Structure 1
Amino acid sequence: MQLNVKFPSDGETIAGILFRPDDAQGKLPTVICAGGWCYTKEIVLPHIARIVNEGGVQVLAFDYAGFGESSGKRRQHLDPWQQISDYRNALTYAEGRDDVDPSRLGCLGISYSGGHVLILAAIDPRIKAVVSIVPVVDGYNNLRRAHGERRFADLEAAILHDQKARAAGKNEGKIAMASRTPYDELSVWPFPRVNEVFTQVKETEAPLHEHWSTMESAELLLNYSVSPFLPRVINTNVMMIVAEGDNITAWDLEIEAFNKIPSPSKQVQILPGVSHMSLYSDRADTNVAAVHSREWFSKML
């Protein structure tokens, strides 16, 4: 069963979908989830939610402020701390619902939001369990590696140019999420396959996806790191799902981050033969990650 919902977040109205197991009764454990770079709630999350529902756990997926059906005058702007605030406001909304057990709340994130849920595990004691799928854990090192040294210098120059323009009162700049010709067109994620998959997803599942962001979003990503928060993840149950050989969010950086989490209740699942993008393009790969998520939340919530 799906239910469209709305809730307030820092002056904006957030749109979400509550996925509830069919024929479920009473208060259920509930997982809050949102997407990665320029995602809307229709991208991959419904497929994961339906499998998590099989474990008797309901899922609330939402659009960040400025994306999809949520309000927000500044569109396509990714401020990680605002997104984390949207997560926390979603938790607050869920707590007040009659069909939610507020003592059994979890969070799931993928890619950029995979990093967010690790931070949330450190700062919000309401969260009992998280699943972090192919997370961004270190924006600077991630993008420098993805672009290569020379192209990364071009990205830094474009960000600085935009910063100066904004300071002078000019319109803020935009940048592609990904490009099929990354050596000709600057983008945040310089992988043609990212563009191909998200173009297909927009055509088939998520018509409100827009394949660009503000340039300042890239600047904020360069300053993004989960590392300072990992030592604080002590009482939360953490699962990290890593795609073997992931060269987009850098699977070795993900494993390094996982090893810094002191929680005695943590688990890593490395998916052989799975790439970052096949989690979106190949439903069988999506399902593998979703089954691991279902088992974790069913056990821990």
Structure 2
Amino acid sequence: MDIQRTPLTFRSEGVLCAATLFAPAAPGAQAPCVVMANGFSGTMDWILPSFAERFAAAGLAALTFDYRHLGESEGEPRQLVDVRKQRADLRAAVELARSRPGIRPDRVALWGTSLGGSHVVEIAAEDPRVAAVILNMPALDALAGSNVTAKRERARAGRATLVWVTARLLAAAVSDAARGALGRPPRYLAVYGAPGEAFFTDPELASRFERVAAESPTWQNRVAARFLLGVPRYREGTMERIAAPLLVCLAESDVEISAAFVKEKAARAPRAEVRTYPGGHFDLYHGDVFEQVAADQAEFLRAHLTP
């Protein structure tokens, strides 16, 4: 099926955000739409197009966008990840989708991966008009829902090393917050790099992030360290308020989030389905595992969004 890609913009709390609408090239057709929320540091030229193309080929529209401060969207300082602001951006993106000609406003779904999954859960719980929800390895809670033990074992790091790394990261976050309060440029941490200097440090991820840098030109390997002082926390009772059908896709060897934590919370949603796939946190974006995940998600969306 031919796919149309339409660049768009919208405003979120006065800030101009960039977006792209992927839609099947069928003149006059009213299509359902899935609004896609990327993960930590993610820009709309990373991961999202591959899923959006699969959804459009299945007859669905897909709206990707850049959060403010990232990618093609406005916002200063650059490379700032703020949970409250990103959720406001997602709400504005949903309203954009509902207002577009050719989109059925009563058939708008949400898709979120990693950090974006926590955003989607919040918006889906507060908006009964959301027609369906997909969560890819959602980082629901950066503290209670993290997989610290698995990460430490993968890195072969002792408790003393973990304390040292955590102290360095928190010191950078406090320094960055102080710089922000004074109007000074951010203190950045790498997204991927050495322990104590980056958010992701697993050596097995080196090739993944090399591919991101090569194939996603707007993505940058740095984020303002103050993010660590405002990480997402899960609010009890949130899943219970999601009335829409919900598909949760997990990686069986995920060391970034706790699959057990996500399963326990998802079980409280009235219409939840959980599927587990082989591999780690980033493997669901690549190769044969990605193809299976994307196919399952397209089938789920078609089942719940098309008459």
TM-score (normalised: structure 2)? 0.88
Aligned partner of 2:37 in structure 1 is 34
Aligned partner of 1:259 in structure 2 is 267
- Cα distance change on mapping 1:95 and 1:279 into 2, 3 Å: same
In structure 2, which of residues 248, 253, 257 is the aligned counterpart of residue 249 of structure 1? 257
**Distance in 2, Cα, partners of 1:234 & 1:161:** 38
Aligned partner of 2:298 in structure 1 is 294
Unpaired runs of 5+ residues, structure 2, are: 153-158
Aligned partner of 1:163 in structure 2 is 177
**Distance in 2, Cα, partners of 1:107 & 1:57:** 13
Aligned partner of 1:227 in structure 2 is 235
Aligned partner of 1:177 in structure 2 is 191
Percent identity between matched residues is 25
Moved more, 170-179 or 106-115: 170-179
Q: CA deviation digits over 1:131-187, x for unaligned, max 9?
A: 0001101112427554664122332333234334544565431111121x32xx421
**Distance in 2, Cα, partners of 1:297 & 1:252:** 25
1:209 maps to 2:230: no
Q: Which secondary structure state, in structure 2, belongs to the residue aligned with residue 25 of structure 1?
A: coil
Q: Which secondary structure state, in structure 1, belongs to the residue aligned with residue 290 of structure 2?
A: helix
**For the Cα contact (< 8 Å) 1:175–1:187, is it kept in 2?**
yes
Moved more, 121-130 or 190-199: 190-199
**Distance in 2, Cα, partners of 1:161 & 1:71:** 24
**Distance in 2, Cα, partners of 1:162 & 1:69:** 23
Larger RCO (alpha carbons 8 Å, 6+ apart):
1
**Distance in 2, Cα, partners of 1:231 & 1:58:** 26
In structure 2, which of residues 121, 125, 132 is the aligned counterpart of residue 122 of structure 1? 125
Query: What amino acid sits opposite 1:236 in the alignment?
Result: A
- What's the CA shift for 1:28? 0.9
Aligned partner of 2:280 in structure 1 is 275
Moved more, 163-172 or 187-196: 163-172
> What pairs up with 1:128-143 in 2 under 5 angstroms?
128-141=131-144, 142=146
In structure 2, which of residues 63, 70, 73 is the aligned counterpart of residue 70 of structure 1? 73
Unpaired runs of 5+ residues, structure 1, are: none
Aligned partner of 1:154 in structure 2 is 168
Q: CA deviation digits over 1:176-201, x for unaligned, max 9?
A: 1121x32xx42122323344312212
TM-score (normalised: structure 1)? 0.89
**Distance in 1, Cα, partners of 2:36 & 2:242:** 21
**Distance in 1, Cα, partners of 2:95 & 2:183:** 36
Q: Deviating runs (4+, > 6 A) in structure 1?
A: none
- What's the CA shift for 1:112? 0.7
- What's the CA shift for 1:202? 2.1
